[in-house]
Amino acid sequence: MDLKNIKRVELKVDGMGCTNCALGIKKQLEKEGFHDVNVDFASGEVNFSDADKTLVQKAIQKIQSMGYTVLEDVHGEKKNFLTIEVEFIVSLIFTLPLLVAMFLPFHFLHQPVFQLVLSIPVFLIGLWHFGRSAFQSLKSGVPNMDVLIILGATASFIYSLYGTIFNLGHDYQFYETTASIITLILLGNLLEHRSVKRTTSAIDELVKLQKIKAKKIIISEDAENIEEIDASKIKNGERFLVNTGDRIPTDGTIYWGHGSIDESMISGESIPVDKTKNDNVVGGTILLNGSIKIIATATGKDTVLSQIIEMVKRAQQDKPRMQNLADKISAIFVPLVVGISVITFLISFLFAGVSFQSSLMHSIAVLVIACPCALGLAIPTAVIVGIGRVAKNGILIKGGSTLEKFSEIKQIVFH
């Protein structure tokens, strides 16, 4: 696999919450004429073939029009005050009194207006967090699980509000249902967000190897001066000093000195390799002892480390057969669940003799419980973790389909 010949545009996108979000972006970009589009909601990365760089701005505008944010730094992270942690804590504070009211006889806890006041902040947070994503997913033609959440929470809230306005009694009070739906699913999203963040740690650790300081040699008429610069600013042909314990800043050739270098991150071999004048060195490896001066021969995406990072990313985007099946199921799952929810209500109310309130609760339960994200998240998470973990140990697997074939292996021959 010659990564040097692969020209791709890579964007960092904030706001993707599930596989259906990724499917929506992929579908819209393909409609706009972009080719070989890969969208990974776990890492928040969108990339496509770099056939025409003038189309990059068009892609950014399209993604942002769908309600997502394209970050300038591909390894960056959007900083918001209203994080999912804050949303969950605020929702929990207002939801707990509503749940307590179900078990304690305090009169004020059961007052409709009191419960309405408590549920409004939670409902607004739910509209902000889930509503935007649901609306954009409907626009993209790939409805996601947030559509189910918003339908369930909104139905119970409006039903309760109607009962409160017309003073219809406790049979119309389901504010705790609205608040509980939003708060519990926020908790699930919070745990999912932290889990997914851990799965991408392998690439993050490889990227950190590139974010080091380099000792640039500046040659004047009568002396050599050392200037410390970021490794990202290195240019071909520049000279650098590497001392014992330093990480080599970029690929290069030794023109002075000698030392022992730990190249286990490249070769997997734990025994240090002795290097001297005219030998090549690889950026990211460590000089265990000695002192060398090198001339940079490759920088940026041309370095071996960058190619490894790119290979790991491409491998994580290669979907096994089971994940392709999960994606197809997720794409039709939401409309199917909405249909089942409506049928549940009609059968309960019209044919089974169940009250309107109970029929509505049965319908809402179908919307809330049916969540396609568990199916859509499990397989890509397993692929990302598996490929990332072995990459950290010096083993590169070409993709999820290759990883899937390991289950069929009976014997392994080492040479």
3-state DSSP call for residue 201? helix
Rounded distance, CA 119 to CA 161, Å?
10
pLDDT given for residue 93 in this prediction: 96
Rounded distance, CA 155 to CA 364, Å?
7
Digitized pLDDT (tens) for each residue of the chain, 415 residues in all: 343 444 678 888 877 766 677 778 888 888 888 888 888 776 678 888 765 666 788 888 888 877 778 876 554 454 555 688 899 999 999 999 998 887 877 778 889 999 999 999 999 999 988 888 788 778 777 777 788 888 888 988 998 898 899 888 777 788 998 999 899 888 877 876 676 565 556 666 777 777 788 999 998 877 888 999 988 889 999 999 999 999 999 999 999 999 999 988 777 777 899 999 999 999 989 999 999 999 999 988 888 888 887 777 666 555 556 555 655 666 677 788 889 989 999 999 999 888 888 888 888 888 767 654 555 556 666 666 676 677 666 676 766 667 677 777 888 887 6
The three-state (H, E, C) secondary structure of the chain, written as one string? CCHHHCCEEEEEEECCCCHHHHHHHHHHHHHCCCCCCEEECCCCEEEEECCCHHHHHHHHHHHHHCCCEEECCCCCCCCCCCCHHHHHHHHHHHHHHHHHCCCCCCHHHHCHHHHHHHHHHHHHHHHHHHHHHHHHHHHHCCCCHHHHHHHHHHHHHHHHHHHHHCCCCHHHCCHHHHHHHHHHHHHHHHHHHHHHHHHCHHHHHHHHCCCCEEEEEEECCCCEEEEEEEHHHCCCCCEEEEECCCECCCEEEEEEEEEEEECHHHHCCCCCEEECCCCEECCCCEEEEEEEEEEEEECHHHCHHHHHHHHHHHHHHCCCHHHHHHHHHHHHHHHHHHHHHHHHHHHHHHHCCCCHHHHHHHHHHHHHHCCCHHHHHHHHHHHHHHHHHHHHCCCCCCCHHHHHHHHHCCCCCCC
Domains of the chain are: 3-71 (3.30.70.100), 84-203+309-408 (no CATH), 213-302 (2.70.150.10)
Burial of 281 (0-12, 13-18, 19+ CB in 10 A): buried
pLDDT given for residue 322 in this prediction: 57
pLDDT given for residue 6 in this prediction: 45
Closest C-alpha among 171, 191, 156 to residue 84: 191
pLDDT given for residue 170 in this prediction: 78
pLDDT given for residue 355 in this prediction: 87
Whether the predicted model's global pTM rises above the 0.85 cut: no
For residue 271, the number of C-alpha atoms closer than 13 Å in the C-beta half-sphere is 1
